[in-house]
Amino acid sequence: MEHTEVVKPETLDDLIKILHKIFESDSINVEEVQNIMESYESNPQEWMKYAKFDQYRYTRNLVDEGNGKFNLMILCWGEGHGSSIHDHTDSHCFMKLLQGQLKETLFEWPDNKSQGDMVQKSQRILQENKVAYINDSIGLHRVENVSHTECAASLHLYSPPFQTCQTFDQRTGHKNTVQMTFWSKYGERTPFETTVSQENN
């Protein structure tokens, strides 16, 4: 009898174990990953140890390396913090709101010949416990915490993991390649690096 029941993760550790199982396969079922991440109900007591905020910019905090198949991380957004417009280096990107709200703005890829403002495709407000998905065929995006009174935190899964991405100037479409770094790993602050800012989420 073929019946695969979706096991609801009760804790963040449960979610990580289930994700490891899902990613044993070489193919990714986007809907399955999205559903399992959405079914985890955010509990700050479980993820707060990874949530490291910075006064000046959003932070990327590694939670799990997924046996080399994916990176799972928590991004922490202070009031008014946001990313640049960026791509995802041919990876799948899942983003779950753990706390607060985030605004996602989707953009078309700039035409090499065109000059001027990048074309905006859509905009939405992401609510707590909801999961968004993007890859490079969908477009580019920018994510922002537009609140001036509330912080936000989001759980991100990238598969396969990547070390660089491209950021884009909204006014010209010009792009730069930037190196990705982590503010912390497994709850511990990483050594200070003088590299260019890690613009991605």
Q: Which residues are annotated as a binding site for Fe cation?
A: 86, 88, 141
**CB-count exposure of residue 201 (10 Å: 0-12, 13-18, 19+):** buried
**Cα separation of 76 and 147, whole Å?**
13
59 vs 51: CA distance, rounded Å: 9
> How big, in percent rounded to 5, are the helix, strand and coil portions of the chain?
15, 35, 50
Helices and strands (H and E) in the chain: how many: 3, 13
Whole-angstrom Cα distance, residue 93 to residue 87? 10
Binding-site residues from annotation: 86, 88, 141
